[in-house]
Structure 1
Amino acid sequence: MHSYPHQPKIHRIYGGPSISLFIPRVLPHSSMHKPVFITFFNFWSQYAFNHLVLFVSLLIVCSSLPSLFCLPFMAPIFSLFLSFVMLSWSIAQGQGPPSPGYSPSTSVRTVKFDQVFRNLWGPQHQRADQDSITIWLDKTSGSGFKSIQPYQSGYFGAAMKLQPGYTAGVITSFYLSNNEDHPGNHDEIDIEFLGTTPDELYTLQTNVYIKGSGDGNIIGREMKFHLWFDPTQDFHNYAALWTPSEIIFFVDDVPIRRYTRKSEATFPTRPMWVYGSIWDASTWATDNGRYKANYNYQPFVGRYTNFKISGCIAGGPASCRPPSVSPSDTGSLSQQQLAAMNWVQRNYLVYDYCQDPKRDHGQIPEC
């Protein structure tokens, strides 16, 4: 649940509500030598809006002038406006990832919250029913829940909906950990949403810790993503599939990251519990701690439902196997799934620890 101190700076320009284009650009003050991304949110829609304003302005002016005088100006401007509207619409229709061709979550049954989880802390800051749970953070406390049993492997997913507006410094998470069993020497598989300011995008941080690499001498394995949708508008499914050979992170059944087992030293193998939490991480969560949690905007709320848990319980039968990641049941992603994952990483990946020149690559040999 920690973060590596050298995080990329993401610069964004906003123009509207529906389209996101990412244009790589090296910034001299960036902490990264690789390209970071300027996000032009609804870049073409802004052009369409500007031309609409110009068209209406000329229409008002021309209402008091002879029509023949205005026609040479009005026609091309209106034509440009229409073309930008059509281009904006066509880009918006194709901004999601290509179909992965298979949905692992369909092979995992939905479980009721109280079948699998119990409150861990902040009971006065959570409201649960059989199917879902809402947790919140205010200046007095956050909240968290924990699975009843630890798991050795499996598929662990939940549908989550995040709070809009100012959420800087706030972490909303769904993850696996054994930090209570191995304090100072624990493992983790993280799905964390880093809080943001109203003019910025949410960042989904995926992370893996192995045997204490998140304690003291931090050795995080972060990959960070923006999303092709607004995670505050509706519930979306987030999951991690942990097998003896790899960890795969999913968003709405689209694989976004695969972390393979290259050695025992770089892969978590000890049993872990499943957690969800909301808490104040102002020291690092948003722009390296530049923006803190502001409790004038409290409460900060995280909503979870549609829990999909299918795992091999620690100490259970040796014959237990986690769900298949692909339709072929070969234990590896299909070519169509790989194509979808590569598309996400080309378009929405904003940080990769393996590409960070400030990292000590002797500590992350899997890179």
Structure 2
Amino acid sequence: MNKTIILLLLLLPAQCLVAQKRSLTKFPKGYTPEEIGKRIAYRFVDAKHALHAGKWISYPETFYWNGSLQYAALTKDQQLLDLLEKRFQPLFSTESAYLPPKYHVDLNMFGSLPLGLYQLTNNKKYLELGLPYADTQWEVPDNGKAPEKAWAEKGYSWQTRLWIDDMYMITIVQTQAYKVTGDVKYIDRAAKEMVLYLDTLQRANGLFYHAPDVPFYWGRGNGWMAAGMAVLLRHLPKDNVYRARIMEGYLKMMKSLKEFQTAAGTWNQLIDEKDSWAETSGSAMFTYALITGVKQQWLNERTYAPVARKAWMGLVRYVDEKGAVSEVCVGTNKKNDKQYYYDRPRSKGDYHGQAAYTWCVGALLEK
């Protein structure tokens, strides 16, 4: 065989590997995480509060805020960091009524925000505000009901309700508490809870029902699960008793997502229904989980880096010049009615989508 051909064949695997690595680092102008992240994060600075029940800072706003902070930190944008922290200050005074109470899974997750600010500023007032949101998730209130007490007696959060949304809400605040304290009880709690949800809701095809009594593969619901597992696995100690089970569930889901990805790179509102519409918030959450898996070497790079790149390129097309993401499913409760998911309104600039895009940006920017 010609020596030149032999040399090329020997170099081919290395060249392919370089190409795979570049697939998540090199993007054309208009598609870079720096550009998209800046557009979306700065949009948040002057945005209105998205209040839960018209009263308290909501979980979509919390996660949009978190993602914007991460972008600012990764890009060393001190101006943005200052603006995002300044926006928080009224919550200690004139806007204190907007601080969520600690009696529901969708409210306790707020603690992840001040705990994130503490990591960036080392200001203990953020730690003192945030940590009780993690602690009270495992402390049954005096007026706790029998089912809540039953979950607690088994070592689970009394806020357990077996909706897949919960596995980001619970995971993020408990993981943040672990990061700032080093106390493994927080990460252990989240891991045990995650296994409960995996065993209850993940199906043979790797996807998740919205709840035990809602047998549909809703996009963003599955996105919460994908993102939650990715966050948890990044910080879960290697010797944790639950790690292998969670990794099994994660890998099973990523394989399924690869198969259900559309030609445009995104995923549908109902993942397994081809006539359903492309939904961006869930698609962004899946993309975040895929990027993280490739970078953490949980996923085969040659197989999954192209999937993640295709997804990101597809997602960027839904961001306008002002940083607003379109085709976002509005807030959604569970319902045992498939048509309900088909018919959910689509929104533009909805914080569910804005937040998930910032997570993708952060995952792409992280080394």
What interval of TM-score do these two structures reach, taking the shorter chain for normalisation?
A: under 0.3
Q: From the CA coordinates, give the structure whose radius of gyration is larger.
A: 1
Q: Greater relative contact order (Cα 8 A, min sep 6): structure 1 or 2?
A: 1
TM-score between both structures, scaled by the size of structure 2: 0.26
Bigger strand fraction:
1
TM-score between both structures, scaled by the size of structure 1: 0.26
Bigger helix fraction:
2
